[in-house]
Structure 1
Amino acid sequence: MSTIDSASAAQASSNTASASPATQKFGEEFTSFIKLLTAQVQNQDPLAPMDSTQFVDQLATFSSLEQQVRTNDSLGGISSLIGELHTMFAAEWLGEKVTIESSWIPYSGSEIEYLDNAPTDADKAYLTVRDPDGELVWTEILDLDEDVHRWNGQTSSGDPAAADMVYEFNIDYYRDTEYLGLGAPQIITQITDVGTENGALRFGTDSHLTADLYSVQKYKTE
């Protein structure tokens, strides 16, 4: 066997090995169909030949099925590639400190750190914290010169806030006496797991907040 023949044989073997079981099975069925069709044509009655339109329709059906099988194979490859990309993202994001903007924040008893995200022209900011029933539990004036703000569960009544509860955080911004608007804090937290939801990346954090890829920003201390 020549070198070219050997290379061709090796390539054919590689193609056969890489083909999916569905594609291989379809190829076998198509070959059987062609053999049966050829036998029918060879043995048909010359005085009453078979309708060639039926042959064309059957061939078209097989061609459509072949395309569907190949499409399914391609989708399987894309799905595998997406899975690999998710693994790469998981390696990049796990353990990273990030910020997530959210008004509703789970409180586990540990101190909550957050950024105020104030407008550039704001000179006053007022934080309000409410329980799930809407009752005001804490309010304070934020120092906008501070990079990071903290809430350790203190309440206006002096009793510690109940743990394992979700609280609503809102920040009202002012310039002198002019009201500029309402904002949500950016919670500083750490990525603990990476998963998928409806094909999109989803992050879990140690603050029990979850967010997609486009809702988180890596937090860097200056």
Structure 2
Amino acid sequence: MKSSTCALAGENFAIVASDTRMSQMEINIITRDAEKVHVLNDSVILATSGFYGDVLQLKRVLQSRLHKYRFDYRTDMSCDLMAELLARNLYYRRFFPYYTGAILAGIDENGKGAVFSYDPIGCVERIAYAATGAAEPMMIPFFDCQVGHVTLADEAERPPLTLQRAISLMKDAFRTAAEREISTGDKIHLVIAEAGKPIQQVHLPLRED
């Protein structure tokens, strides 16, 4: 089941986004309202692509662990601890891995934006931006240019990554992908975590054909 997700981390914010189309064999649209971005607590967001049954099972496992942690310690798990927990759960299933691409994002203990990217067996890396799913080959070069600046000429302007610019880049990335990748479309589900503020969720239109 094809899907597309991505995440960006800024100085004091993290943004996670996905499309809402779930398709099979490219031309068979199963639903136009699939939930691929999951808010785990007030500072941690999980984005998933891949087989939806494994996505739901992984979400249930993490929510169960978070509930137990909250019961034992009377506080929510931090983003860094959650990143370690997800890595261990994926590695535990390494001989029969979840068929999903996971991205964890949120606000760390220092109030900084964080994005953690995983492979199916739990290898984790903290990076500035990440993407998974069908549109990943188009989104990563776009973020390499606009966020990482690795493909810009030396004299090119490099504007800072503000929250508004990050939101605009997310919109551009999905609109570009929807034009070229048939399984990406319908709506953008945008989730914004900002230090000291509640998590915001926004739905924006994408092409529906």
Shared topology, TM-score over 0.5? no
Which of the pair is proportionally richer in helix?
1
How high is the TM-score relative to the length of structure 1?
0.24
Higher relative contact order (CA 8 A, sep 6+): 2
How high is the TM-score relative to the length of structure 2?
0.25
